[in-house]
Structure 1
Amino acid sequence: MGAALHLAHIHQAPPGPKKKRKGGGGGDGYDALVARVYQDRRMTPEARELILLLAWLAVRDPNRYDTDGNLISWGERAAAILGEYGPGPRKGSRLADLLYADRPRYEDKRSGWETRQCAAPMIRRAGLCGQRGVEHTYTVDQETGWRTAVWYCRRHEDWGNALRAQRAANPGPEPIPNAGGLVVSYLMVDGQEQAWARLYRDAAAWKRDGQWEPPKKYGLRADDWPIPGKEPVAPRARLRLAALDGDLIP
């Protein structure tokens, strides 16, 4: 899986041979980042693991330079730490797993799937049908693009088909993403959107998902996505990543 990002600290070293360096101290921002990650209620286990690993590789890894003082590919170091798994020539990649789990996307909420009650309005009495639904369709919020499952029973198939036709005629706006995008909220700075999109796309390809595309309107960072009824997340300081050559998976 190809990639185009290589980790580097915000202060770039001068060209030419360098002395072998040791990991950074508390002034490099890593300790504060760790605390912030663990306090973030949005955090997933996969995003936490990847953020902390990439940040550590950027500023703390004592082995990030070779014997000549040259920076080693972060992909090579990350792959060595995370390892591979499974039999066969195409082994699984933990790094691809973590990136894919954090891909920015919209996911339907599974509300109503437990009861699956028919939501068709009754004509002869007030209220909804309430019978066990056998099929479902979706309604779309015209502000957020978020979808809500609507179930219907055999008796109300015509009603359900009419809802489906309405949605096809008016699919609504691009949904606001509600999953992923946490790694880039901590590590991506302006100008790196395309490079990170390639990383996510390569991870999706490695997971055999050819359908994923970055959000067109809302960007990759979860910090930038509007949440109906809530204030936007305040801008946060980020570790700088430099666009250089490197491979996610050697």
Structure 2
Amino acid sequence: MGAALHLAHVQQTPVKKRRPKRTGGGGGDGYDKLVTRVYQDPRMTPEARELILLLAWLTVRDPNRFDEDGNLIRNWRKRASDILGEYGNGRRNESRLADLVYADRPRYEPPHLPWGEQVCGAPMIRRQGTCGQPARGHDYEVDLETGWWTPVYFCRRHEQWGRQMHQQRVSGLAPEPIPNAGGLLPSYFAGSDSKAQERLKAWARLYKEAAVWKLDRFWEPPKEYGLCADDWPTPGMEPTEEPEPFRLHLAAVDGERVDSGMTR
């Protein structure tokens, strides 16, 4: 993963040249607060947890994070890749780092179709209720406020109704769905200072690089809701004022550039 990024935590004092190499961190570096937040976050996935904790450790606790002059080493790629490793699949070496970034790409995940015998949900005209006959096909109904999908099933008699649901979904008239998966990495590392937008742009490039590496040509960043899961609305819940969560900072090189490539 060739994204060469700056990792600089919120409260770290700049290290002077020729200062002896540091070997550890204390509670004041914010690491403990971030780890606590990770384990208490109900949105957390195994992949996001693995990478967030690794990046936090590389930022403030890795004893090899300083060079011989005592300066913080900005490029975390090689250290992260060495720890996570690679694996072969017969064609090329896969990047565990790319796997973890791709798993956290911001996206909307439609509901999985339930198993078992399904019945037609088409509304009946001459009586109240739905058809109820055994289904022979399915599609999704789109919520015109959230953009979220709900599975619908139809029988042979109501195939036209099923086609209408399909046309509504693919017409482009439905809103962009509110993301409900991924977006945890920028929630923990984008920060909220004047450089936050630059970091979010860097994350967008990293997610795209990971998608290309995983042969996903279709992923694009959410246009309306952004990359950060902390910023996404939750349908059915009113927004509430909450304290700013503790974050570490992850900035692109010079605040602008992210080099391409997802291999070591």
Q: Same fold (TM over 0.5)?
A: yes
Q: Hey, what does 2:100 align to over in structure 1?
A: 98
> Bigger CA drift: 7-16 or 32-41?
7-16
| Aligned counterpart for 1:224 among listed residues 224, 228, 231 | 231
Structure 2 contact 2–77 (Cα < 8 Å) conserved: no
Q: Hey, what does 1:118 align to over in structure 2?
A: 120
Matches within 5 A, 1:55-134: 55-70=56-71, 71=73, 73-88=75-90, 90-110=92-112, 112=114, 114-134=116-136
> Bigger CA drift: 163-172 or 60-69?
163-172
**2:211 maps to 1:208:** no
Structure 1 contact 107–179 (Cα < 8 Å) conserved: yes
**d(CA) in 1 for partners of 2:27, 2:15:** 23
Amino acid at match of 1:134: R
1:92: how far off?
1.4
**d(CA) in 1 for partners of 2:186, 2:45:** 13
Q: Secondary structure of the residue that 2:102 maps to in structure 1?
A: helix
Structure 1 contact 181–222 (Cα < 8 Å) conserved: yes
Structure 1 contact 146–175 (Cα < 8 Å) conserved: yes
Consecutive unaligned residues of structure 1, counting only runs of 5 or more, are none
**2:18 maps to 1:6:** no
**2:240 maps to 1:238:** no
Q: Give per-residue Cα distances to partners, 1:62-121, cap 9 Å, x unaligned.
A: 011233434162011000100011244621111111111110000101255544321112
1:155: how far off?
1.8
Structure 1 contact 223–232 (Cα < 8 Å) conserved: no
The root-mean-square deviation of aligned C-alpha atoms, in Å, is 2.3
**2:250 maps to 1:249:** no
Structure 2 contact 210–262 (Cα < 8 Å) conserved: no
1:35: how far off?
1.0
1:46: how far off?
0.8
Q: Hey, what does 2:204 align to over in structure 1?
A: 197
Q: Give per-residue Cα distances to partners, 1:9-37, cap 9 Å, x unaligned.
A: 33463685553222211110101111111
Aligned length: 250
Q: Give per-residue Cα distances to partners, 1:221-241, cap 9 Å, x unaligned.
A: 111000012244733121112
Q: Secondary structure of the residue that 1:249 maps to in structure 2?
A: coil
Mark the CA change 1:112 to 1:127 in structure 2 (over 3 Å): closer, same or farther: farther
> Bigger CA drift: 91-100 or 240-249?
240-249
Mark the CA change 1:120 to 1:220 in structure 2 (over 3 Å): closer, same or farther: same
Mark the CA change 1:212 to 1:34 in structure 2 (over 3 Å): closer, same or farther: same
TM-score (norm 2): 0.85
Matches within 5 A, 1:163-202: 163-169=165-171, 171-189=173-191, 190-191=196-197, 192-202=199-209
**d(CA) in 1 for partners of 2:13, 2:90:** 40
Consecutive unaligned residues of structure 2, counting only runs of 5 or more, are none
> Which structure has more RCO (C-alpha within 8 Å, separation ≥ 6)?
1
**d(CA) in 2 for partners of 1:22, 1:163:** 60
Identity %: 62
Amino acid at match of 1:151: Y
TM-score (norm 1): 0.90
Q: Give per-residue Cα distances to partners, 1:123-145, cap 9 Å, x unaligned.
A: 44432122222222221111111
